[in-house]
Amino acid sequence: MKYEIVNKYSEAENLCKPVSKKTFTVGEIISLLNEGATRLFPSDKRPRANSHTMTRIRLFQHFLESTERKGFSPDEPLLEEFRSKLRNGDLKGEGDRYGPLYTNSAVDTIRLCLNQYLYPQGLIDRLVLTKKVYDKYSRFFRLTKTTRRLIVAFEEDGRSIASEKKFYVDSKGGESCRIQIKRKQERLSSYNRKCYLEKVLTVLNSLVKSGIEDLTGDDLQQFLEQYRKKDKEQTARGYLAALYSVVANGVALKLLQRNPFENFPLERKRCKVRQDFVMLDQIDKLLNLKPLDWKNQNAVRNRCVTVLIYDMGLRASTVTQLEVTDVKELPDGRYRIMVRGIFLKGDKQDATLYVLFQQTIPLLRHWIHVVRPTFNPRTDHLFVSQQGKKLTRTGIRNIVRNCCKSLDIWTVKGKTPSPHTLRHTLATLNTEPFGKGLSPRLMQQRLIHMDVETLIRNYVHNNPLAEMEEYKKLLEKGSKNRLLRKVSHEDFFELLDSLSSAKPKAIFEIKRAYERELEYDNPLKGSDKEGEFITESEAIRRLSAFRIDYRSLRTWALKEGFCRIESMKEDRQRYLYKASFIDELVKNYIEKDEAMGKFRGKRSTFYYRLKMCRVVKIGQRFFIPKDDFLRFFIDGTVRTKKGKAQTRFGSSRTPLLSVGRFAT
C-alpha cells in the first residue's frame, strides 16, 4: 500500500514550540471550551454530542481546580496529566477509576475543542498534538544534533546504497581494502524510509545511546547478542541493515565522519521461507459450497472474503480497499478484478486479476447482487460490515480465522490460517508441477511480486509441499528428462564465441569428440578438505570477474567450510580460503548475467529453465554450474508425438544459442 510520511521530523521544531505564550485561568479556559462545544455541537442539532462534551468539560474543570495552580497552558503535558488523573481515579469519588476507552475519549474531546475553536481564532499558536506524535517528537529531541540532522536528511531523500571496494597499500606495506560508499539514483519509498528510521531508533534505545556517531563495532555486537539470547538473531540483523542504510547515506552526504560498520561484518538478512500452509484436503473444505447456508448473510460474506483471498492471493490490506466498481463480470461468466497500485505494497502499478477457481464466481455474484444491498452500505467498498461501513484489516483477519475455525480448517502445523497464510498456500499448492500448474511468471503476476526470483526462491526451490512424502513420486515423474552427453566445459566454452557461424553438423562432430557423462555432484562440495590456503585479498583478486563482495564470500565460505579464521596480534583476525575451492568456483561455474548474455531465447524462458539448475547464491550474485548450463540451455531438443524435433523452449527453427541447435 502506498504510504506518505505524516508528522515529519523536519517539522518537529515548528510543531513542538510552545502552544501559547500566555497562560489562562481556570475560568477563561472553561468558558472558551464551553463556547467551542456550543458552536461545534449545537444542542438543537446534535444534543447527545453536546451533552457528552459538556460532561467532559466539567470533568476537565474539576481537574484544573484540583491542581491549585493560577495559570495554565493548554499543551500536551497538561492533557497527559489529565489522562493519568482519570486512570488513577483521582477525579472520581471513592477511588473508582475511569476505563481506558472513556479516558481517551475525554482527552480527545478537550483536544478537539482546543484545535477547532481556539486555534482558528488565534488564541493558541499551534495545534495540540496527540500522545503518539508528541512522544515521537520528544524522543527525537533527546538525540544529538548530528543524529537529528541525519534523520531529517534520510527522511527527505533516503536512497539505496552501492559499495565499491578499493585496494591500496598501507604504511606497513600490506594490502588493505577500503569500501567506498555511493548513493544510487533510485530513491527508497516513503514507507521504507519510515520503517528504517523506526528501526534505527529501536537500536539506539536498546543500546541507551543518544547519537549514531557514538556507536562502535562493540555496540553493534552487543545489540546482536541481546537479540541472539531471545532467539531473534535475524530480527536484529534486519535492524542493523536499516541502521547501515541510514549510516551509509550519512557518510555519502558527509554528515558522518566515521562509519561504525567498518570493523563489523554485516551479513544480509536471510529471507525467511514460510513453511506453514494449508493442505489440499483442507482447501477442498473451503471450496465446497454445498453445506453453505445461502440465506445466512454473514456466512455468505465471510465465505466470499475467505475464498476470494485464497483465489486472488491478495493481502488483507488490499482486500479492504477493493470497491464494487473494481469488479466486473465478463460476457463468458468470468470475473475480472482491478487492483489499484496505490493500495499495493511498495511502488507498483495497477494489476488486473481473473478468477482462478469456479467456486468463487457464484459466491461473488450472490454477494454483490443479493446480500450486499441488504447491509445498506454507506461506502462503495466491496466488503462492508453489518453497519454498512468498510471492513478494516483486523475485521478481514477475524473473518478469515472464524470462517476457517467453523469449517475445521487448520494448517500443517495445527494453527488457524490467517489471510497471509492463504496467500502463501495459493502459491505453494498451485505453482507447477502442483495444482493448477501456474508457471512462476504467472504466479508472480498473481501475487504481484516485484521480481520473479522471489517467487522462484520461495515456491520452487524451497516449496514446502515438495518435501512431503506423498508428492515425491510426482516430482520424480515430472523430472524424467533424459540427459544428453555434453562436450567438456573447457573445450566448449573456448569455442562457443568463435563458432557462431558454424553449421549444426560441425557442432555435432565437436560434441561427439569430447562427449562425457554429466556429473551430478557439485564440484564445490567435492573439494578436498586439506590443501593450500590463500589470503582474502588473493581470493578476491582471483574472483574479480565475478564481482563478489568480500563480506558475502566470507559468509558463504564459512558456512560451507571452505574458510578458516586465524588470530593475529592486537585482537585482529584474517580469513584464509581454500585455493581448490576458489579454483573450482572459477572453473566450473558461470555467472547468471553471463549465461543470460549467451542465451538467445526469451527472458521468461531463461528464468523458467533457471529454476531447474543447481543455482549457488553468494550474496546478491547467482552462479550456475556449467554442467547445468549445457544441459538446460543448449541441448534443449525433445521429440514431439509426431516424431518431429522440437526444442523444449519453442520451435526448432530458431536456435537458442548462436552456435545452433544440438541433435539428440
pLDDT score, position 422: 93
Strand partners, 515: 487
Please, which residues have CB within 8 angstroms of residue 331's CB and are 6 or more apart in sequence? Answer: none
Strands 621-625 and 589-591: antiparallel
Q: Provide the grid cell at 74.
A: 493548554
d(C-alpha 316, C-alpha 420), whole Å: 7
**What is the domain class of 280-475 according to CATH?**
mainly alpha
The residue with cell 555434453 is 486
Q: Furthest-apart CA pair in the chain: how many Å? A: 104
pLDDT digits (tens, 9 = 90+) for 480-499: 332 223 333 344 444 444 44
pLDDT score, position 268: 58
pLDDT digits (tens, 9 = 90+) for 495-519: 444 444 444 444 444 444 444 333 3
- What is the model's pTM? 0.52
pLDDT score, position 569: 59
Q: Which of 515, 508, 513, 518 is nearest to 660 (CA)?
A: 508
Mapped onto helix, strand or coil, the DSSP state of residue 460 is helix
**In what order do the strands lie in the sheet containing 621-625?**
589-591, 621-625, 616-618
**Mean pLDDT for the chain overall:** 77
Strand partners, 84: none
Q: Do the Cβ atoms of 376 and 384 come closer than 8 Å?
A: no
pLDDT score, position 173: 61
Mapped onto helix, strand or coil, the DSSP state of residue 187 is strand
pLDDT score, position 274: 67
pLDDT digits (tens, 9 = 90+) for 371-384: 999 999 999 999 99
What one-character-per-residue DSSP string does 97-134 give? ---HHHHHHHHHHHHHHIIIIITTTTSSSSPPPPHHHH
Residue numbers in the chain where pLDDT is lower than 50: 1-3, 93-95, 469-471, 474-475, 477-530, 636-664
pLDDT score, position 352: 83
pLDDT score, position 3: 47
pLDDT digits (tens, 9 = 90+) for 95-147: 455 777 788 888 889 988 888 888 888 888 888 888 888 888 888 889 999 99
